[in-house]
Amino acid sequence: MDTKTTEKTATAKTDEVAEDATTEAADTTPGAGTPAAADADLLDEPDEQDDDEQDDEEAASPEATGIGAGAAAVVSAALSAVALTGTWTGKVVAERETLVGQIKTSGSGTPAQQISEIYGDAWHSTALVNGVFALLALIVAALVLTLPRRPAWVRAVAVAGAVLGGLGLLLSVGTYFDLFLSLPTAGS
């Protein structure tokens, strides 16, 4: 342990001697000993350190943006898939509409009215809920695609979310307005 301490002390003394020699050389060099030249030397070092710190901050920010954008892109794709396959919420809303239709038409409704109230309203409410999920997927995907400096995989997932969300929205609108299939009609 004493040898290490002695080596450290010797190194420190050598550094002090080198600093003294540098200071003396600066005093004898024309123009180098002026306070302005010394200040310029001091100012150069912090600028280099500031540049390094800025580079570190810039290097960290795309990662943070990439993580958030990646998460949002995955959420967009998941919302799109949910819009296409249906949700538990949509099923609950549809069952509620079915029950309300049964209560409204119990015993007194015509067959056409029963079909509309019991099945049509449930069908349309499911399409509405799925359309809301598809619209949310499109909004999130659009936000991700407008972010600057995003990785390629984030862009790809966001585009997939936007395409699936658009498809889900198209299907929901078509189902809501009975464009693909119409409600059955009662025989007279």
Express each pLDDT in 171-180 by its tens digit.
999 999 999 9
Give yes or no for residue 79 having a pLDDT over 90.
yes
pLDDT given for residue 59 in this prediction = 47
Q: Report the percentage of the chain scoring pLDDT > 90.
A: 50
Give yes or no for residue 38 having a pLDDT over 90.
no
C-beta neighbour count of 171 within 10 angstroms:
18
Rounded CA separation 116/180 (Å): 17
Any domain includes 16: no
Any domain includes 128: yes
Any domain includes 155: yes
CA angle 83–121–91, rounded 5-degree value: 40
Any domain includes 54: no
DSSP label at residue 1: -
Domain range for 171: 63-176
pTM of the predicted structure, to 2 decimals:
0.64
Lowest mean pLDDT among 61-65, 88-92, 137-141, 164-168: 61-65
83: Cα within 13 Å, side-chain hemisphere: 29
Q: How many domains is the chain built from? A: 1
Mean pLDDT over residues 39-48, rounded?
50
Give yes or no for residue 20 having a pLDDT over 80.
no
Give yes or no for residue 100 having a pLDDT over 70.
yes
Any domain includes 113: yes
Any domain includes 22: no
For the record, the structure tokens of 129 come out as 């809920």
